[in-house]
Amino acid sequence: MLFNKRINIEAKTLLFALILMIFGCEQQQPKEIKLDFALKTHVQLIQEGNTGSARVRLRQYMEAEGESSQPLFLMGLSYHHDKQYAKAVDWFFRAVEANGEVYPHTWHFLGWSHFYLGNIVQSKANFQNHVAWKKDEPDSLFALGLIAMEEGDLPQAESFLRAAIAAAVDDVATQAKAKARLADVLTEDGRWDEAIALYKDAVQQNPDMYEAWHRFSFALQRIGKVDEASRAAQQCELARRRVRPDLYHSTRFPE
């Protein structure tokens, strides 16, 4: 029931986003809002994976200072870090609504949380909000590319992913993953040579990206370069063991 209510509220957010998209061009871009220095420790705790401690301190902070967009955002971020996306959505949504002020990056993480929950409409609306606020935000452009792929709109996906690559000038990780996903789009059109060049570029930029190594290997296999495919597959396995040792441990499923 609560979830349905939230969806209804977010339908209104979608409407708001559409209105923003249409009328927003006459408005000035909001200026970057820096995270409150007093929350620096809380951010650090989340980054270190001490999300439980972060949440205790955030609650204490809000008891003292009152609820506002930034600590609410960080509460959401702590659950996002734990991959508990439904809980993250609840807090992010409160952050968006708090006191009429918005910490803009909340839209971005709200977009990803909805994405991982399979809520494609809400995810798209929030990424669009983020891009409407900052048009060259590479990771939101990347996400919109993924959503366009899911919508079967390959030209749109290609356009967003190329925009993400262009925007991620100083962000090698985002550039690499956008190149690898762009390569995926090209394989759908049978553009294997272009795709292979992009995969190669992507894994050179970020050798830890084991999914891209796998797709690189498969693309090479597809065009008959069996030895190169085998070498890429070996790199995939090495990267996976390096990045995700948890997959080889005794948990039930990759989370």
Q: Which residue ranges make up the site for another protein (CB under 8 A)?
A: 3, 14-15, 18-19, 22-23, 82-87, 115-118, 120-121, 123, 146, 149-152, 154, 184, 187-188, 210-211, 213-215, 218, 221-222, 236, 240, 249-255
DSSP state letter for 151: T
Cβ atoms of 17 and 128 within 8 Å: the answer is yes
Q: Which is nearer to another protein, 162 or 192 (CB)?
A: 192
Q: Which is nearer to another protein, 28 or 250 (CB)?
A: 250
Closest approach of another protein to the CB of residue 124, in Å? 10
Closer by beta carbon to another protein, 73 or else 213 = 213
The residue (of 85 and 142) whose beta carbon lies closer to another protein is 85
231: number of Cβ within 10 Å = 15
Between 39 and 220, name the residue whose CB sits nearer to another protein.
220
CB of 149 to another protein, least distance (A): 4
Residue type at 255 in one-letter notation: E
Counting Cβ atoms within 10 Å, is residue 205 exposed (0-12), middle (13-18) or buried (19+)?
A: middle
Of 108 and 214, the one with the shorter C-beta distance to another protein is 214
How many C-beta atoms lie closer than 10 Å to residue 172's C-beta? Answer: 11
- Least distance (Å) between residue 37 CB and another protein: 30
Q: Which of 43/120 has CB closer to another protein? A: 120
Residue 85 Cβ vs another protein, minimum distance, rounded to whole Å: 5
Cα–Cα distance between 9 and 17 in angstroms, integer?
13
- Output b/e per residue, 109-135; b: 16+ Cβ within 10 A: bbbbbbbeeebeebbbbbbbbbbbbbe
Minimal distance, residue 71 CB to another protein, in Å: 20
- Residue 100 is given by DSSP the state G
Alpha-carbon dihedral of residues 137, 115, 174, 101, nearest 10 degrees?
A: 30
Q: How far is the CB of 58 from another protein (least distance, A)?
A: 18
| Cα gap 108→7, rounded to integer Å | 17
Find out whether 237 and 209 touch, Cβ atoms under 8 Å. no
Question: For 207-225, b where at least 16 C-beta lie within 10 A, e where not — what string?
Answer: bebbbbbbbbbebbeeeee
Shortest CB 148 distance to another protein, Å = 9
